[in-house]
A and B are shown apart, each in its own frame.
Chain A
Amino acid sequence: MEFERRRDTVTVRITGELDHCSAQPIRRELDGLIADPGVKKLVMDLQDMAFMDSSGIGVILGRYRALALRGGKVAVKNMNPQVKKVFLLSGMDQVIQIM
């Protein structure tokens, strides 16, 4: 997973497909990236994410919850139409910014 840290923000590029099969390794990597309590914002660049189902909702919301506990937040960008449809259906746009 390609990532970049700038001050309190980590931007990460998630590639491939986010389903139940890939959820566990992706979750672990994301948790590693936000383990430092100095990280207050996680930006997920989904440009190269070809597919997501409801397992992805769980992964994104789980990271949101972890960051919200320290006053942080999550944002997403570059969603393809399939990913965006699942994202919007879940109502996640209430708490997660689309950049």
Chain B
Amino acid sequence: MKIINEMKLEFMGVPENEGFARVAVSAFAVQLDPTLDVLADIKTAVSEAVTNAIVHGYADAPRGIVTVAAALRDDGVLSLEITDKGKGIADIDRAMQPFFTTQPEKERSGMGFSVMQTFMDKVTVESTLGEGTTVRMQKRLREG
């Protein structure tokens, strides 16, 4: 398979950019003509990953840079990479479990990764303590 289009966004990790990121990715994905339901799934997953970068990754160093890279493949698959250079995740398997959160006092439900896994076809996480986190996700937009 071949990449037919790519884009990369870099923005300051402030809450106002959560909406910006999900709308931008959705506008990029729309060129493969996905259904509205598929677009809504992508928006939701992007919102989760970008919010995590801001509220967890940059919890101790606000306004760090969040990167969102997207690629469209000729087989109809969108792949996404959301990266922060924040504090990293100590135990990824644990972090990905439903209802696990390190911020219960902020009324977090610990469902962000479960949303990503349910709404996307594939989710993988790479993280190093003190260096940052990259979340990679894939979703088929249409049959290739």
- B contact residues around A12 at 8 Å (CB): none
A interface: dominant SS: helix
A58/B109 in contact, CB under 8 A: yes
Chain B contact residue count (CB 8 A cutoff): 25
Task: Assess the B115–A89 pair: CB atoms within 8 A.
Answer: yes
Q: Which residue of B lies closest to A24 (CB)?
A: B15
User: Which residues of B10-53 have CB atoms within 8 Å of chain A's CB atoms?
Assistant: 15-16, 18-19, 22, 37, 40-41, 43-44, 47-48, 51
Number of residue pairs across A and B with beta carbons under 8 Å?
67
Please classify the interface of chain B as helix (H, G, I), strand (E, B), loop, or mixed, using the class held by over half of its residues. Answer: helix
Chain A, interface size category, equals: 20 to 34
Residues of B within 8 A of A53 (CB): 44, 47-48, 51, 112, 115
Chain A residues lying within 8 Å of B91, measured Cβ to Cβ, are none
